[in-house]
Amino acid sequence: MRRLWLIFAQVTTVALAIVFVVSTLKPTWLQKGQGAIAPTIVLGGSGAASGGPAGAALSAAEASSSSRSGYSLAAKRAAPTVVSIVASKAPARDSEMDERWHRFHFGQRGPGGRKDPSGERAQTGLGSGVIVSAQGYLLTNSHVVEGASDIEVLLTDGRQAKATLVGTDPETDIAVLKIELDHLPVIQFGHAETLQVGDVVLAIGNPFNVGQTVTSGIVSALGRDQLGINTFENFIQTDAAINPGNSGGALVDVDGNLVGINTAIYSRSGGSLGIGFAIPISTAAQVMESLMREGQVARGWIGVQTRELTPEFIEAFKVPVKEGVLISGVLANAPAAKAGVKPGDVITQIGSTAVHTPAQLLLAVSAVPPKTATTVTLLRGEKELAIELTVAQRPKPKQ
């Protein structure tokens, strides 16, 4: 009996050893004669399962998408809607000496310009734009197309078209173009008013004419003004790289929605130093609607020159208020002059809106529709006055 037990133990040990070696080196041998078990893939959030090769392929694609870091989805959504703009201007009439200099160095073709039969230089400008409507409307910067006699738009799918200028608003640096093409990609508008400092944004455009480029950064600041770039300023500041050629391009959020139109950079070298500015889409959309509807932006104007109400002025003239806007000049025949506003007055309120700075006064007056009556509250010495006047249309700025 003992002998039989020893034989059984040895056979069992040898069999287990063989199974272990086979399962390690040739595991497929053990699966012969058995149906292979199909992998089960659980779709996120559905609770459903699918098996077989199709399910496995879907799982692999989803796993790859979820594991990939970055903002590729936002770029894929927004990039096809961003176009390159080539704006050609009429040849400039140079002096004879200047013309000889250009012909000596560049022949009959100006630097970066097109050949002109007269031998003069046809100037070209490069910029970017964003398709915002399936009907072919585009947003870009006013300075990109300023003075252009011919505007050409190049899409990322290789198509190109001549663009017509719907209107420009130099005071916000916004222009609206229109092209006649079918099946246009259209960007979705985001909410610039919900942006916060630190939010990730992407800048998309055609810098230095190298081709469409996507750069990333964060919102560095909001409400930037008094930069001397435009008359009406409320910029989004970002450190996403913006370079020459990016003007008029898109600033998008992490979902690929348009939150701003790239317009300017602070630079000592001509390249990006990490300080770029974009016009909020809320402002750009309002300007676009006015340009499409009326061909211009209707803004109020009363015709005054203003200064900050400084502590020194308050002390010297014993002004009884500490907040307001000092009127330093009144234009003849302007609404303010006709209503009796005088230099030295301190305006504290336009309608129901309190104003503390010249920028606030400018915005408050411009928000009043032209040919509309409003009340201007001001101090003249120690006396408070409420003056009724009719706001006029703001004159177009000189080029």
Q: Which CATH number belongs to the domain containing residue 267 in this structure?
A: 2.40.10.10
Domain boundary among 250, 284, 318: 284
**Distance (Å, whole) CA 277 – CA 262:** 6
Best CA proximity match to 262, nearest among 353, 104, 102, 143: 143
- For 83-114, the DSSP string reads EEEEEEEPPP---HHHHHHHHHHHTTS-TT-B
Please give the positions annotated as active site.
143, 173, 247
- Round to whole Å and give the CA distance between 356 and 51: 68
Inside any domain, residue 34: no
Q: Which of 128, 149, 178 is the last residue of a domain?
A: 178
Overall domain count for the chain: 4
Radius of gyration of the chain (CA): 33
CB-based contact 232:363 (threshold 8 Å) = yes
Q: Does 319 share its domain with 382? A: yes
Q: Are 176 and 166 in contact (CB under 8 A)?
A: yes
Same-domain status, 198 and 220? yes
Phi/psi of residue 257, each to 5°? -90, 145
Which of 284, 196, 210 lies closest to 238, judged by CA?
Answer: 196
Is residue 172 domain-shared with residue 85, that is, in the same domain?
Answer: yes
Are residues 152 and 204 located together in one domain of the fold? no
Domain assignment present for residue 304? The answer is yes
User: Is residue 166 one of the residues assigned to a domain?
Assistant: yes
Is 290 within the bounds of a domain?
Answer: no
At 127 the three-state DSSP class reads strand
Examine the fold and report which residue of 253, 284, 315 is the final residue of a domain before the chain moves on. 284
CA distance 218 to 197: 7
CA distance 195 to 25: 59
Range of the domain at 226: 192-284
**Residue-level pLDDT, tens digit, the chain, 399 residues:** 667 767 777 777 777 777 766 666 666 565 554 444 333 333 333 333 334 444 444 345 444 544 556 889 999 999 999 999 999 877 655 555 555 444 444 444 333 444 444 455 556 778 999 999 999 999 999 999 988 889 999 999 999 999 999 999 999 999 999 999 999 999 999 999 999 999 999 999 998 888 899 999 999 999 888 788 888 888 999 999 998 889 999 999 999 999 999 998 887 777 777 899 999 999 999 999 999 998 889 899 999 999 888 888 777 777 777 789 999 999 999 999 999 999 989 999 999 999 998 988 998 999 899 999 999 999 988 888 999 999 999 988 765
Same domain, 339 and 277: no
Give the separation between CA 10 and CA 13, rounded to whole angstroms: 5
